[in-house]
Structure 1
Amino acid sequence: MAIIDTLPAVDVSVQLNNSFRCADEYPDPNPYRRERYLGGVERVARNYVESQEGTEFCIHVNVKDEPSIDPWVYNEHGLLFFLYIDGIFMGKRFCQNKDFNRGDWQFTFSSRKQPNEDRSSLVESRFKFQSIVTVDGEPTHGDFRRARDLGIIEVKVKLGKASAMTNRRRRKNLERDFREPAVDSFLIPEEALKGRPIYHGTSFTAPERLPGGPPRYNSLKTATGALLATYTFKYRSKEALKIEEIIPRTPSPEPMPQRRSVRFDELNTVPRFEDLHQYEIERLARERLRQLRDEKLQTPSLKKRTYDDYCDLTQNDEQPVRPYKIIKMRSGHEAIDLTGGY
């Protein structure tokens, strides 16, 4: 929400209908046209907000009953809030002392009300962000003026004073000239934009008829005084906010460091794991698994040998020596028969 330090009792915010909070605000660093304010004290809040295609929105105003506004809000004196969107007047509201409820005065600008074609009743069209469609053709002076204020929501706060009630036999706002709102579309000559990154404008939802009700005979008339404060919101798409450097651009992904080509046939070359490509890691893993499988298949089933297989400590060394057979050769010599056939 936008709050001016020298006017802390008033805050103005843009709210998207698809969210339960105020739109994010970003300070506007650009220069702007100066205006004359009450007492020569400039009271300005200037911010950017992000717009979303096809989203309805509203402008919420809240005034707190604080001593800081006592010089301007008392008796029949109060504050007049004027709303302009894309340079077009959308409505006004008068805040006076008797309208405060539990310490606050609140109002929400969410639509534009105007008479229908035959001026028999009022119709209401809600505000909506719409993508701009540029058309060819020579822009008129009105197109340039419209493009100048395009993408801007502005709330001006002026001093007001309630005067006598007027007695008119009419319905509210039926004295306005009829102007068909642009429903779900926003057309403008491309040349009128002058290359500015503005991709959204404000269109309206389809008109809905409001209950007519009894005619209003009495209408409060207000006198407008000096300009007290201005709240400006430049609405842009997210891409436009990046182009205008209001929000940082999405950083480009950092390039992956080039991996050194590894040759396994080089002598005394042991590559680091970090230098291996993914396909090389997978290949080495497959080779190792194959090697382990082959080793398992080729290994014979061996009996586990113990020390007893080499030295039987239970053997009895005192057993009698096996007898051997002595034979007598023809030469008369004696010999031992090793054939074992005995």
Structure 2
Amino acid sequence: MAIIENLGIEVKVLMEGIQAAEYQGGDFSETNDDFGAGTAKCHRYIESVDNAEFAIEVSATKNNPWLKTAQVKNCLNYYIDVDDHEEVEAVCLWKARMDEVLKGVREYRSNVPGLRKFRFTPVQIADDPDDAQFEEDGKHVERLGLIRVRVYRATIVRKVRAKSLRDVGDISEGSRSLYESSLKGNALSHATVLSPAVDTDETTAVIDCRWKDPEDKPLAVFYFKYRSKAALQQKMIIPRPRSPTPPPLDRGSLPRSVPNMLSGDLLGKLAFDEVRRLAQQGLPGTGGQLDNLPLTEIHRLAAATLDNLPFHEVRRLAQQAPSTNYVASNIKRDHNGALALERPRKMVKIEGGKEAIDLTED
């Protein structure tokens, strides 16, 4: 929320009638306008959308020091600057009128009040023209993509009915075209245009005021830089989207060779008793037959069982696998033909740098 608490003033940008999401951060150094430390400043980024109409809501809270005094003629003047156009609109608030929504620029045509609504338009990138056009464009590019609201204290002198309103210059009704070299890394995505005028029954009054704050020293200034979502991500104002999380591995959908590779890696790390247990599950009720099976068949049965185990069981086996494991060459048959594990041979150095097998018991 763009609010300066101690001054009791607030500004919002509404897009299609809903308050635009606001973000803090980023570099606003080029927008401070040398107003000095006496001017309170509030900086926000907002997300803009192609061709969306927007409005600016200004308000004062009941705690506003200037308006809550006994001076009933005290007022606050809000001046709206859009892109490189200053004072396209203004509004005066006082005790009986503490908020206002500005939907666009008000005008009179043949004494009939009309309204040209604010609208975001995508910035079109054009090839660089000659230097003169580039220089002219470069003078304004720093203000593009910016809504600025200046707030001044004043006292009301008189109110009169408006006959004509301020000239807003050449704010386009269409898209804005910029030269790529003049963007200067600003990640601009949108500019502001005015929609064609529509009739309105809202009447407008012009209020003559006596200013308390000098023009170059406003009470407060609100800055809203508007950018597309992609531009905000580029400037790291909002996080970039994370890569989608891959779905869980469906082992049943894999080719048979893939689970076999996974189970083979784990089987090579298991104690042989665990391998026999897994193989036994592949031959329910016929455990005695394992002794008559080749080693390769026992491994095949164990791998098949491992492939069909739930993941938590596979993980348990992996966590319990010993760090030192017997390999297939250590598995022998005893004199009765039963499978047995041969203790790994321990080699020792003897004289002359030769190696010998250590047959002593550990």
* TM-score, length basis structure 1: 0.64
| 1:147 corresponds to | 141
| Alpha-carbon distance between aligned partners in 2 of 1:212 and 1:252, rounded to the nearest angstrom | 50
AA of the residue aligned to 1:36: F
C-alpha spacing 1:223/1:135, structure 2 compared with 1 (3 Å): farther
| 2:94 corresponds to | 96
Asked which structure has the greater CA Rg, the reply is: 1
C-alpha spacing 1:179/1:41, structure 2 compared with 1 (3 Å): closer
| 2:152 corresponds to | 158
| Alpha-carbon distance between aligned partners in 1 of 2:80 and 2:112, rounded to the nearest angstrom | 23
Q: How far does the alpha carbon of each residue in 1:120-172 deviate from its partner, in whole angstroms, 9 at most, with x for none?
A: 65542101111111222243443112211111111111122323567x9x713
- Identify unmatched segments of 5+ residues in structure 1: 277-342
C-alpha spacing 1:238/1:196, structure 2 compared with 1 (3 Å): same
1:203: how far off? Answer: 1.5
Determine helix, strand or coil for the equivalent of 2:72.
coil
AA of the residue aligned to 2:76: L
| 2:228 corresponds to | 237
| Alpha-carbon distance between aligned partners in 2 of 1:47 and 1:72, rounded to the nearest angstrom | 30
| 1:49 corresponds to | 46
What is the aligned counterpart of 2:211 among 196, 201, 224? 224
C-alpha spacing 1:24/1:274, structure 2 compared with 1 (3 Å): farther
Determine helix, strand or coil for the equivalent of 2:136.
helix
Superposition pairs of residues 77-156 of structure 1, within 5 angstroms: 77-88=74-85, 89-97=87-95, 99-100=96-97, 105-114=98-107, 123-136=114-127, 137-138=129-130, 139-156=133-150
| 2:240 corresponds to | 249
AA of the residue aligned to 1:108: V
| 2:35 corresponds to | 36
| 1:6 corresponds to | 6
Determine helix, strand or coil for the equivalent of 1:220.
strand
Determine helix, strand or coil for the equivalent of 2:237.
coil
Instruction: Tell me which protein shows more helix as a share of its residues.
Output: 2
C-alpha spacing 1:179/1:31, structure 2 compared with 1 (3 Å): closer
| Alpha-carbon distance between aligned partners in 2 of 1:113 and 1:212, rounded to the nearest angstrom | 9
| 2:195 corresponds to | 205
Q: In the alignment, is the contact (CA less than 8 A) between 1:163 and 1:222 conserved in 2?
A: yes
| Alpha-carbon distance between aligned partners in 2 of 1:23 and 1:107, rounded to the nearest angstrom | 17
Q: In the alignment, is the contact (CA less than 8 A) between 1:115 and 1:178 conserved in 2?
A: no
Q: In the alignment, is the contact (CA less than 8 A) between 1:183 and 1:203 conserved in 2?
A: yes
Q: In the alignment, is the contact (CA less than 8 A) between 1:43 and 1:229 conserved in 2?
A: yes
Determine helix, strand or coil for the equivalent of 1:69.
coil
Q: In the alignment, is the contact (CA less than 8 A) between 1:87 and 1:146 conserved in 2?
A: yes
| 1:59 corresponds to | 56
Q: In the alignment, is the contact (CA less than 8 A) between 2:67 and 2:75 conserved in 1?
A: no
Greater CA deviation, 61-70 or 187-196? 61-70
Q: How far does the alpha carbon of each residue in 1:174-202 deviate from its partner, in whole angstroms, 9 at most, with x for none?
A: xx447454224222222221232111111
AA of the residue aligned to 2:140: R
Q: In the alignment, is the contact (CA less than 8 A) between 1:14 and 1:57 conserved in 2?
A: yes
| Alpha-carbon distance between aligned partners in 1 of 2:195 and 2:309, rounded to the nearest angstrom | 60
| 2:307 corresponds to | 273
1:209: how far off? Answer: 4.1
Over the aligned positions, Cα root-mean-square deviation in angstroms equals 3.5
AA of the residue aligned to 1:13: K
Determine helix, strand or coil for the equivalent of 2:77.
strand
AA of the residue aligned to 1:193: L
| Alpha-carbon distance between aligned partners in 2 of 1:80 and 1:110, rounded to the nearest angstrom | 17
AA of the residue aligned to 1:203: V
C-alpha spacing 1:248/1:160, structure 2 compared with 1 (3 Å): same
| 2:323 corresponds to | none
| Alpha-carbon distance between aligned partners in 2 of 1:73 and 1:86, rounded to the nearest angstrom | 37
